Amino acid sequence: MSRGLGSPLSFLLTGWTWLLLTSLLGLATFLGIVRGAPLPPGLRLLHVHGALIGGLIQMMTGLALAAVDLAAHGTVRPKHRLLFISMNLAALGLAAGAWMHDSNLTIGAGLVLTALCVPMARHMMMGLRTSSGWSPLSMFFFGITLTGLFGSLVLGEFIAGSWFPTWHGIVRLGHLHSGLLLFLTLATVGTIQLALPPLLNRPLRSAGLEQAVLLLLPACAAGLITGFLLSSVPIQLVAGGGLLLTLGLCSVNLLRTWNQAGQPGSAATDHLMIALCFLLIMTGIGMAVGINVLWTPPAMPYGTLHLVAYTHTAFLGLFLQVSVAGLSCTLPALLAQRVTSRKKHAAYRENLSHIMNRWRALQVSTLSFGTLGLVLVASLTWNLPLSSTWIQAVAWSSLGLLLLHLILVTMKITQVVGTAPTGDRAATD
């Protein structure tokens, strides 16, 4: 197995470390808002950029590289040290630039990350192409999502340099939604459609629905972004309704596939199925927010805490669920390459999979209920002050569940990485 700096394992473990540290910072930020003592704004930007770039994008790259390595069936693959070092330096630069409000540092780190778009996109596409469900339509779909990543990075440079102050609001909206919606959300949904059938050992129940989802999702996302840029709530609601319907079709197709496979369960499949539920919840909340602003004044007050709860329904309920699912199924397969004997390879991989699947009900429930707890805290503020005992109790309970989840997953990762093969000669680098 290829190990060391620049290997798929290094991307995955470093990405999880970024997610862990920035998640802890996010928990502290949320607690500060609830207690009426918010942390400095620079920490919020550090949290966001560290989690998205150092965490999610790095893990997506690592999963793609792992897929290519696993498809090579033991063939020695090259390491990607320069990509690994550059990506982490860019993430550190963006985080430090946000913390110190240093635009030059932010612009420089952003330029490095923009230059990395080409190799990252190439590796991601190579990894996705290893799936048995890959098609020309998949290439079109993921090509659009990667275009969203590039556009988000370019617009982020405009914001950091304050080059178009008159258009700052529009550029910021474009930066946020091309990255979060067009790239991360659509790429996540497309990846779930490719990854879940192999995990279930069944093809998708309806290939026609799969193709319809790949065509409709980019159109709905483009409509939403257009509505945001034009500040047109009707366009947003129409596009959001289309997005909700398309995601519903995708979920039904995947649920029917899961049911046809006999409803098997593992940590990976559990997280992916729950992620679909949260995606529908997130889209429904977004529709409710759009309807709410049609009234003047809005029917329900909407402040910073509500926005934080909504965005973290997406981050924790969708992106973190899928990230943990990816680690749960990829790490055992990747680490099992330590074993050179085919006979003992399966037993060793099964042992590692058993570790990753251990306590999966607790693992999924702590993340799910912890995420829903953030939404509950924001909802309670419509009737109770922040100092209320109920709000404080729910906030602490929610953050405690999320912290327990992070600790549990980190312990499992540490255990599988430290579990060496026995009774066989391990493969060397």
- 206 domain residue, yes or no: yes
Res 302 pLDDT > 80: no
Assess whether 183 and 228 both reside in one domain.
Answer: yes
What is the signed CA dihedral for 100, 106, 108, 110, rounded to 10 degrees? Answer: 150
SS (H, E, C) 123-185: HHHHHHCCCCCCCHHHHHHHHHHHHHHHHHHHHHHHHHHCCCHHHHHHHHHHHHHHHHHHHHH
Assess whether 54 and 98 both reside in one domain.
Answer: yes
Res 141 pLDDT > 50: yes
- 107 domain residue, yes or no: yes
* Lowest mean pLDDT across 74-78, 114-118, 399-403: 74-78
Are 16 and 410 spatial neighbours (Cβ–Cβ below 8 Å)?
yes
Looking at 130, 165, 186, the residue that finishes a domain is 130
pLDDT at 53: 92
- 338 domain residue, yes or no: no
Assess whether 151 and 126 both reside in one domain.
Answer: no
Assess whether 200 and 256 both reside in one domain.
Answer: yes
For residue 149, the enclosing domain spans: 133-263
Q: Which conformational region is residue 420 in: left (phi greater than 0), alpha (psi within -120 to 50 degrees), or beta? A: beta
Res 231 pLDDT > 70: yes
pLDDT at 202: 87
* Residue 339 phi, psi (nearest 5): -90, 130
Assess whether 126 and 33 both reside in one domain.
Answer: yes
Assess whether 114 and 217 both reside in one domain.
Answer: no
Assess whether 12 and 117 both reside in one domain.
Answer: yes
The whole model's pTM is what? 0.91
Assess whether 100 and 169 both reside in one domain.
Answer: no
- Pick the closest to residue 176 from 311, 313, 302, 287 (CA basis): 311
Amino acid letter for position 34: V
Mean pLDDT of 202-221: 91
Q: What is the pLDDT of residues 360-384, one digit of tens each?
A: 999 999 999 999 999 899 888 888 8
pLDDT at 159: 86
- Pick the closest to residue 121 from 93, 151, 85, 92 (CA basis): 151
Assess whether 97 and 159 both reside in one domain.
Answer: no
Residue with tokens 């020695």: 76
Assess whether 29 and 18 both reside in one domain.
Answer: yes
Structure tokens at 367: 């993340």
Averaged pLDDT of the chain: 88
Q: What is the pLDDT of residues 6-17, one digit of tens each?
A: 899 999 999 999
- 289 domain residue, yes or no: no
Assess whether 8 and 34 both reside in one domain.
Answer: yes
Buried b / exposed e along 72-97 (16+ C-beta atoms within 10 A): eeeeebebbeebbebbbebbbbbbbb
Q: What is the pLDDT of residues 145-186, one digit of tens each?
A: 999 999 999 988 888 877 877 777 788 888 888 888 899 999
Looking at 130, 163, 198, the residue that finishes a domain is 130
Assess whether 16 and 64 both reside in one domain.
Answer: yes
Looking at 107, 130, 153, the residue that finishes a domain is 130
- 198 domain residue, yes or no: yes
pLDDT at 382: 86
- 317 domain residue, yes or no: no
- 386 domain residue, yes or no: no
Res 286 pLDDT > 90: no
For residue 50, give every residue at least 6 positions away whose Cβ sits within 8 Å of its Cβ, in sequence order, or none.
18, 21, 22, 25, 91, 94, 95
258 burial level (CB within 10 Å; 0-12, 13-18, 19+): buried
| CA angle (159, 163, 168) in 5-degree steps | 50
Q: Count how many domains the chain has.
A: 2
Q: What is the pLDDT of residues 236-253, one digit of tens each?
A: 899 999 999 999 999 999
Residue with tokens 């209920």: 369
pLDDT at 355: 94
- 250 domain residue, yes or no: yes
For residue 95, give every residue at least 6 positions away whose Cβ sits within 8 Å of its Cβ, in sequence order, or none.
45, 46, 49, 50, 54
